[in-house]
Amino acid sequence: MDGLDALKGKYLEGIAGAADEAALEDLRLAALGKKGEISLKMRELGGMDPVLRQSTGAALNVLKDEIDAALRAKKAALGDAALDERLRSEWLDVTLPGRPRRQGTIHPVSQVMAELTAIFADMGFAVAEGPQVESDWYNFDALNIPPEHPARQEHDTFFMNRAEGDNRPPHVLRTHTSPVQIRAMTEQGAPIRVIAPGRVYRMDMDQTHTPMFHQVEGLAIDRDISMANLKWVLEEFCRAFFEVPSVELRFRASHFPFTEPSAEVDIRCSWEGGQLKIGEGVGWLEILGSGMVHPKVLAAAGVDPTEWQGFAFGMGIDRIAMLKYGIPDLRAFFESDLRWLRHYGFAALDMPDLAGGLSR
């Protein structure tokens, strides 16, 4: 029996000190495995005399159960310790506020389009669209710019190629958003109130001109709309867009074939200290062309000019984006430089609305 006590001491001590489950398994095999020490002793029982066999057998069974129980207990303890360690190392504070990820931002042009859409929607203007590849009729003729009109040259138009032998006048990349006036009136008739933001194209390239840029067209036709309505809408828009309490606009007499009378509109601003401020100072910056829609334009779109009248305007989106967000060079808008986009871009989840604030 002394031998059994020694075995018991050896295994219980070993189990208590086992560092991990692999060490436990080694101990189990050494004691209880097929060729384990306890198993071998069991096998020896057969050659013993019956009295000794009974007592030794009973003692071996007790020892086997004790070792087995110690193994299980230790295994459970090791498992708990492993779980505790995982819980400690993988701990995560789920109450921490989210970290905004600025992978990818909204381009200032998209941001400004969303801002101005929110402002004009609030004044009852719907959004209209038209194609960027436009027929010369929509881009010019319907807007009272006949083929030999000098305004056609001024527009620095990109012409599309026609197939060989096709002598119809070529399509153009639209030089302004004004053709959407014709499309919207033809489709919806009068009364109508729409804006049409989008891309336009002219063959021009320097610090303030790019071959592709953005305009937003405005059109309001009803029975008694006047220049006074135009003035109010534009002032209200500028105040909301530039987020200043008041703005001052200057209407300068001008000429467009598709409006009569026509006016270009400047906004009061200051350049003091190299910093542009809207609404104060002695400077003026041109931001749009506008006027009362020409009767011939209404007629071209199937709207009776003896019954309906209204205003239209065309504003440079890139221009007002530069003004509002202090962006000095127009060309950078279209260079897709990630550093520029990270600096001037807007967080994707902050879509502008009038209640929450336009530019957060």
Whether residue 296 contacts residue 256, with contact meaning beta carbons closer than 8 Å, is answered with no
- In the complex with ligand PHE, the residue whose CB is nearer, 31 or 265, is 265
Q: Give the shortest CB-234-to-ligand PHE separation in angstroms.
A: 12
Query: Of 86-94, 113-121, 310-318, 349-357, which part binds ligand PHE (CB under 6 A)?
Result: 310-318
The neighbouring-strand residues paired with 259 are 256, 293
Q: Which of residues 280-309 bind ligand PHE (CB under 6 A)?
A: 289-291
Query: Of 4-12, 102-110, 189-197, 311-319, which part binds ligand PHE (CB under 6 A)?
Result: 311-319
Q: Which of residues 149-208 bind ligand PHE (CB under 6 A)?
A: 176, 178
Binding site annotation covers 264?
A: no
The neighbouring-strand residues paired with 265 are 251, 288
The residues, ordered by sequence, that sit 6+ positions from 201 with a Cβ below 8 Å of its Cβ are 132, 158, 173, 174, 175, 211, 212, 213
* Helix ranges restricted to H, the chain: 2-17, 21-32, 37-44, 50-89, 108-122, 136-139, 150-154, 179-188, 227-242, 295-300, 317-325, 338-344
108 binds ligand PHE (CB under 6 A): no
Q: Which of 8, 259, 330, 358 binds ligand PHE (CB under 6 A)?
A: 259
36 binds ligand PHE (CB under 6 A): no
Q: Give the shortest CB-243-to-ligand PHE separation in angstroms.
A: 25
Query: Which residue's structure tokens are 């987020």?
Result: 243
139 binds ligand PHE (CB under 6 A): no
Q: Give the shortest CB-329-to-ligand PHE separation in angstroms.
A: 21
Residue 191, token pair as written in the block: 């009364």
Q: Give the shortest CB-201-to-ligand PHE separation in angstroms.
A: 11
Q: Which of 312, 317, 321, 323 binds ligand PHE (CB under 6 A)?
A: 312
Residue 344, token pair as written in the block: 């001037």
Cα 112 from Cα 42, distance rounded (Å): 88
- For residue 115, CA distances in Å to 194, 195, 201, 357 come to 15, 13, 23, 10
The residues, ordered by sequence, that sit 6+ positions from 98 with a Cβ below 8 Å of its Cβ are none
- In the complex with ligand PHE, the residue whose CB is nearer, 313 or 346, is 313
- In the complex with ligand PHE, the residue whose CB is nearer, 41 or 193, is 193
# chain residues binding ligand PHE, by CB under 6 A: 10
210 binds ligand PHE (CB under 6 A): no
Q: Which of 60, 314, 322, 323 binds ligand PHE (CB under 6 A)?
A: 314
Whether residue 285 contacts residue 252, with contact meaning beta carbons closer than 8 Å, is answered with no
Burial label for 132, CB within 10 Å (0-12, 13-18, 19+), is middle
Q: Which of 201, 308, 313, 344 binds ligand PHE (CB under 6 A)?
A: 313
Q: Which of 342, 341, 318, 338 is nearest to 330 (CA)?
A: 318
Query: Which residue's structure tokens are 């001008």?
Result: 254
Q: Give the shortest CB-266-to-ligand PHE separation in angstroms.
A: 14
- In the complex with ligand PHE, the residue whose CB is nearer, 198 or 314, is 314
Q: Give the shortest CB-324-to-ligand PHE separation in angstroms.
A: 20
Beta strands 192-201 and 126-127 are parallel
74 binds ligand PHE (CB under 6 A): no
- In the complex with ligand PHE, the residue whose CB is nearer, 14 or 257, is 257
- In the complex with ligand PHE, the residue whose CB is nearer, 18 or 234, is 234
Residue 205 DSSP class: -
Q: Give the shortest CB-289-to-ligand PHE separation in angstroms.
A: 3
Alpha carbon 180 to its chain's center: 27
Q: Give the shortest CB-340-to-ligand PHE separation in angstroms.
A: 26
Feature table: binding site for Mg(2+): 260
Feature table: binding site: 260
The footprint of ligand PHE (CB under 6 A) covers 176, 178, 256, 259, 289-291, 312-314
